[in-house]
Amino acid sequence: MNKEKRNSLLITICVIVGALLVIGLAVYNSVSTSGVLQRNTVAAESENYKVDGMMFAYFYNSQYQNYSSAFSYLGVQQGVSLKSQSCPYLTDGGSWFDYLVRMTRDYVKNMLGLCEIGHEKGNTLTDEDRAEIAEQIGVLEDNAKAAGYSLNDFLRMMTGNGVKKKDVEKCLELTVLAQKAYNQVMDGFTYTDDQLKAYADENPGTFMGVDLYTYTFNAADFRVYDDDDNPTSSSSEEAEAAKKAADELSAAATAADFESTLRSILTGTGMASEDVDTKVAGAKEDHVLTANLPSDVSSWADTASAGDTTVITSDSEDAYTVYLLARTGYMDETRARNVRHILFLNTTYEDSSTADQVYAEWEAAGFSEDKFIELCGQYSEDPGSNEVGGLYEDVVPGAMIDEFDSWLFDASRKPGDHALIESAQYGWHIMYYVGESDLTVWKSQAEDALKNQDYNDLLASKTESISYNEKAANAIYA
């Protein structure tokens, strides 16, 4: 399953009713119907689309839900109007209500901008789109009924601003149109290898990385205790021991020397062997972006050769960090991979028995890819891939959850490999490795960056003329 990693600049438009289904009514104890908002009041408007006051209230409450679980950690008082509580994240001053309204305003403007882009492409709601919207409304109706309310009463209690079924329907229509346009825009951006290389060359800190071995010796690591666990060493003795260890490790000229020397030093401190193994294994860092290194280490790495070492002393001089440059700056040429999977959610299944049965059925068919695709259509609960035979293409390291990622990028992986693996977050995955793609990690990163850049430029051009009615937004009761 994809981790849903997103660049912060990307606006992901999604159907928001799902949040309503999991938030209890008690969340809105501080909200009541104001009767101020009118459906003929326009809160935001583009050339062909508009969001009225009730729709804006619904989108506002979706933002409220996004933040409600964190409010207690942010110092927001429940049961007290958000309009009376200052928000520290607004540099020009303002309340938490102002903050959420601004988030809603930006969301709505971007959504309308996308709708306008889609309008230029001739997008309309299809029968399938309307069926999906009706299904979402049906889920809301079922939840309202289960709570003992009509849908309109349920929505009023949830939002506190008199939002009704027809308002939600209009909100969903816009989000579906926006999502459709977003997908078209992002899929439409293509770049040549020369363009990708040019972008990488212009932003070396984002793409150039080095392989390092690094370990920090703290003075406290060399504290000596008596039989009663009382320290007997002085701070100067501890610092001297830490420096001596760092100097010894910095004499290493190869990765193998670094590992063996570090192992010897740590063993000499009395550290348990399993802890030593963990520390030594964790000393290696592959493709660390030079932009993410401390400035003094980055400057050293820019001019050092493979096998060179340096020791960086902390300001307090009680810690010494040893670096060995294992590989000089390079762009990550790791190839992305293509994989298929069938997902059995742990919210649906209590154990792996169904996954085991399906895996056995696939085995009986000789682990063929055609059979896998057939079974995927029958069983997979991953909406991101179940309609395409479970296929994910151009997957780069780190894009998937850990268990999925570890299996996919195992160094021994070869086309046709298969397995049944379990992930704590989602459940069970029947895996089928298709093979490497032509896309490398650095090209994937450059492509994503260019897409984000071009998307935001395009969206900015479409949102600058969108009108916004601040009075309509401020009429929301909160």
Residue 17 is predicted with a pLDDT of: 38
Q: Is the model's pLDDT at 33 over the cut of 70? A: no
For residue range 350-399, list pLDDT tens digits in order. 999 999 999 999 999 999 999 999 999 999 999 889 999 999 999 999 99
Q: Is the model's pLDDT at 19 over the cut of 60? A: no
Cβ partners under 8 Å of residue 243, min gap 6: 217, 320
Name the CATH topology of 204-331: Chitinase A; domain 3 (3.10.50)
∠ CA 295-296-298, nearest 5°, is 65
Q: Considering only CA atoms, which of 262, 382, 354, 254 is closest in space to residue 308?
A: 254
Query: pLDDT tier at 26 (50, 70, 90 boundaries)?
Result: very low
Residue 78 is predicted with a pLDDT of: 85
Residue 389 is predicted with a pLDDT of: 96
For residue range 249-300, list pLDDT tens digits in order. 999 999 999 999 999 999 998 899 999 999 999 999 999 998 899 999 999 9
Residue 4 is predicted with a pLDDT of: 36
Mean pLDDT for the stretch of residues 32-54: 77
Cα–Cα dist 157/33, whole Å: 8
For residue range 222-237, list pLDDT tens digits in order. 988 888 888 888 888 9
State how far the alpha carbon of 468 is from the alpha carbons of 41, 50, 286, 400, in Å: 11, 10, 48, 39
Side-by-side strand order, sheet with 391-395: 391-395, 335-345, 427-440, 418-423
Q: What is the CATH number of domain 335-440?
A: 3.10.50.40
Residue 235 is predicted with a pLDDT of: 87
Query: pLDDT tier at 15 (50, 70, 90 boundaries)?
Result: very low
Q: Is the model's pLDDT at 12 over the cut of 90? A: no
For residue range 307-327, list pLDDT tens digits in order. 999 999 987 778 999 999 999
Identify whether the C-beta of residue 82 lies closer than 8 Å to the C-beta of residue 70.
Answer: no
Cβ partners under 8 Å of residue 58, min gap 6: 16, 159, 161, 163, 167, 168, 171
Mean pLDDT for the stretch of residues 164-168: 92
Q: Which residue has 């009680």 as its token pair?
A: 318
Q: Considering only CA atoms, which of 66, 118, 124 is closest in space to residue 96?
A: 66
Q: Which of 88-97, 351-360, 455-464, 467-476 has the lowest mean pLDDT?
A: 467-476
Query: pLDDT tier at 3 (50, 70, 90 boundaries)?
Result: very low
Mean pLDDT for the stretch of residues 93-99: 93
